[in-house]
């Protein structure tokens, strides 16, 4: 006798059915000791007929998630004719919800997969923000949806992460007088570049607090007003050269700045 065989049939990806079937199989058979055939994106009855025929030949079980009731009914009839065990994995739950909730199902294949795609896009954007944070790799500038530009402590990283949760790929570039910004920045579309402006007094306060939290005291050149004014002057020259939008973040929360950026990239500036 060969390995137990299961056919997974779906009018979407078939991941839901496969997951449930594997969970059930684990109660009987070790992983790798069975054969599973997934038949996704079913669009016609011929595919269903072929699957039932193959299942009959191999003494297999069929598990399916077909939200189209016509396909589901046809598959059950074909399986019954050929005496093939055929299990509707999602149908009974949908029927119960319809009765209890007094609602009609959408009967649209792949809705869970659409949610998964949204999730994975968000994860991809978060990973992008980490990879191209603080000018680590200028190659990210050309791939980014948004490029944030600013001196140290202007909330570039928190903004990048916040916008990443909106599924936007964000790179950020620190502006330091002693370091020329990468060429990629000046080749980028200025409409996707956003400068983060801040008042010298606010930046001085933020940097002093930062130094104290690190146990370094507040007298370092990092928080020196002359140094701050020099950095901000250099920043002003860079954004003028880029001719990009600028937001004053001096008294704004990250969420407020992020909403302004979202408005900008939606073409409102």
**Is 158 buried (19+), middle (13-18) or exposed (0-12) by CB count in 10 A?**
middle
Taking only the tens place, the pLDDT of each residue in 196-227 is 999 999 999 999 999 998 888 877 899 999 99
pLDDT of residue 114: 60
| 84 annotated as a binding-site residue | no
Cα 16–21–25 angle (5° rounding)? 155
pLDDT of residue 94: 85
d(C-alpha 257, C-alpha 269), whole Å: 14
| 38 annotated as a binding-site residue | no
pLDDT of residue 215: 86
d(C-alpha 102, C-alpha 124), whole Å: 38
| Fold adopted by 5-109 | Rossmann fold (3.40.50)
pLDDT of residue 203: 97
Residue with tokens 């996707």: 192
pLDDT of residue 15: 83
pLDDT of residue 269: 41
Q: Where in the chain is the domain with CATH 3.40.50?
A: 5-109, 115-268
pLDDT of residue 170: 97
Helix-, strand-, coil-residue percentages of the chain, each rounded to 5: 55, 15, 30
Taking only the tens place, the pLDDT of each residue in 141-181 is 999 999 999 999 999 999 999 999 999 999 999 999 999 99
**β-sheet bridge partners, residue 63:** 8, 87
| 156 annotated as a binding-site residue | yes
pLDDT of residue 110: 67
| 65 annotated as a binding-site residue | no
Tell me which CATH code domain 115-268 carries. 3.40.50
| 154 annotated as a binding-site residue | yes
Whether 238 and 181 have beta carbons less than 8 Å apart is answered as yes
**Is 214 buried (19+), middle (13-18) or exposed (0-12) by CB count in 10 A?**
exposed
| 157 annotated as a binding-site residue | yes
Structure-token pair, residue 231? 């950095």
Q: With a cut of 70, list the residues of the chain below it in pLDDT.
A: 1, 110, 112-116, 267-269
């Amino acid at each position: 006798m060969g390995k137990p065989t299961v056919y997974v049939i779906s009018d979407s990806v078939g991941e839901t059915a496969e997951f449930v079937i594997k969970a059930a199989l684990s109660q009987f058979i070790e992983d790798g000791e069975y054969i599973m055939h997934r038949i996704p994106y079913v669009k016609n009855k011929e595919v269903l007929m072929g699957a039932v025929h193959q299942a009959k030949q191999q003494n297999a079980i069929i598990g399916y998630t077909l939200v189209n009731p016509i396909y589901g009914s046809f598959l059950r009839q074909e399986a019954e004719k050929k005496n093939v065990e055929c299990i509707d994995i999602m149908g009974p739950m949908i029927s119960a919800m319809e009765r209890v909730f007094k609602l009609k199902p959408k009967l649209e294949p792949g809705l869970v997969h659409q949610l998964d795609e949204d999730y994975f896009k968000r994860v991809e954007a978060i990973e992008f923000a980490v990879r191209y944070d603080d000018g680590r790799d200028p190659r990210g500038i050309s791939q980014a949806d948004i490029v944030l530009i600013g001196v140290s402590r202007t909330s570039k990283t928190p903004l990048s992460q916040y916008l990443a949760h909106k599924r936007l790929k964000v790179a950020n570039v620190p502006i330091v007088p002693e370091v020329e910004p990468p060429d990629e920045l000046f080749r980028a579309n200025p409409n996707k570049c956003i400068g983060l402006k801040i008042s010298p007094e606010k930046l001085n306060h933020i940097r002093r607090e930062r130094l104290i939290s690190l146990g370094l005291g507040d007298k370092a050149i990092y928080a020196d007003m002359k140094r701050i004014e020099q950095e901000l002057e250099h920043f002003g020259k860079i954004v003028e050269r880029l001719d990009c939008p600028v937001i004053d973040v001096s008294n704004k929360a990250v969420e407020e700045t992020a909403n302004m950026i979202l408005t900008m990239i939606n073409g409102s500036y």
